[in-house]
Structure 1
């Protein structure tokens, strides 16, 4: 399938492994990664997911040689499957980290946009790239990128098809941290382990509210937050956290 999955502690790793094809996304890859994410959704031993690539690219987008392959009437085509993958990644209830190891374009950038946290190697370059081949984005390039960076910057990247440095993307707010190339995996694992020590229930609820806040008025977003808090007050995790604080020990969260 040209990707691998692994569990390192409580961090699940998905690694794209088509370096000669710049980790371009094939149908088998996106179906397999979607299945992996779904299998980890309710897995208590996976509390964070990291997505990264091998070779000179994180991901150069969809495999254009196979993306337009015909399918039988009524069957899902490549676009259906890749949208399902992005939707699954975007809605995943646990923290997701994009560990961007190299060139990131088109569908690769859309995968990054679907993650919660973005770490980038110093040498990485990120852009949209669809316009270079007359392809229209379908996973968030035109719809989500302007929500992550200033609108005029998003349009510049969309219209030119150019990629810019990880440092430039950090200055624009898309990238959270830029690290030395050799330190990327170690940093992603360390951050994933930090998230894994938190209450998975509180992180899932925080993520839900944060993801939906931009589409609500301030008053509605605050009401949503209060509603989640009311539910959370009935949880085991909040009682464990408060007891641990009083008893001066590390909490042992269970996620319910």
Structure 2
């Protein structure tokens, strides 16, 4: 399947392990990652998910050698499978971090954009690249990239097929941090453990409100936030957090 899964403490790691093909996504890889995410979303031990690659690429996108293979009647084709994967990644109820180790192109960039934020190695590069092969994006290249970075820069990447550095993508807002290549995994693991110590209930609610806010007027987004807070006031975690504050100790959140 060319992808590995490992639970390091509270952080579930998904590692694309097909370096000879620049971690191009095959049908088996896509199906396997989707199934693991579905499994992990029901596992309270997995507080954070991190996605990375091996070799010089995070992912060069879909495996074009097999992407066009027709599906059997009544079965989903490869595009359906990719859409399912990206929808599952976006909807994962807890934080998902992209640990971008190298080239993130085409579907690889689209996969990055499904994550909540991006930590990139200094050598990482980002590009859409679909136009280089006469392929139209189907996982968010044209639809989501202009929501993540300035529209004119998104169009530049879409039209030219060129790639830009991690530092440039940090300036444009897609990348949260750029770290030395050798420090990437340790940094993301430490960040994942930091997030795991917080209330998973709070992070889930924050993620939901933040994800939905862009498609709402400000007044509706604020109303959603207040409604979530009203509901959250009934939770164990907020009471535990307030008790810990008063007692000057570290809170022990339970996620309900």
**Which runs of at least 4 in structure 1 moved beyond 3 Å after TM superposition?**
none
Give the secondary structure class of the aligned counterpart of 2:251. Answer: coil
Aligned to 1:8: 8
Counterpart of 1:249?
A: 249
The aligned counterpart of 1:226 is 226
The CA deviation string for residues 27-85 of structure 1, in whole angstroms up to 9 with x for no partner, is 00011000111111021111000000000000000000010111112110000000000
The TM-score with structure 1 as length reference comes to 0.99
Post-superposition shift, 1:117? 1.2
Once residues 198 and 72 of structure 1 are traced to their aligned partners in structure 2, the CA distance between those partners, rounded to angstroms, is: 45
The within-5 A match list for 1:1-256 is 1-256=1-256
Shift of residue 125, structure 1, vs aligned partner? 0.6
Cα distance in 1, alignment partners of residues 254 and 183 from structure 2:
31
Deviations 1:3-37 (A, max 9, x none): 00000010000000000000000000011000111
Query: What is the TM-score with the length of structure 2 in the denominator?
Result: 0.99
Q: What is the CA-CA distance between 1:200 and the residue it aligns to?
A: 0.2
In structure 1, how many angstroms separate the alpha carbons of the residues matched to 2:149 and 2:37? 27
Aligned residue for 2:65, secondary structure, equals: helix
* Aligned-residue RMSD, C-alpha: 0.5
Task: State the SS of the aligned residue for 1:240.
Answer: helix
SS at match of 1:64: coil
CA distance in 1, matches of 2:254, 2:245: 16
Please give the secondary structure, in 2, of the residue aligned with 1:157: helix
Counterpart Cα distance in 2 of 1:7 and 1:64: 30
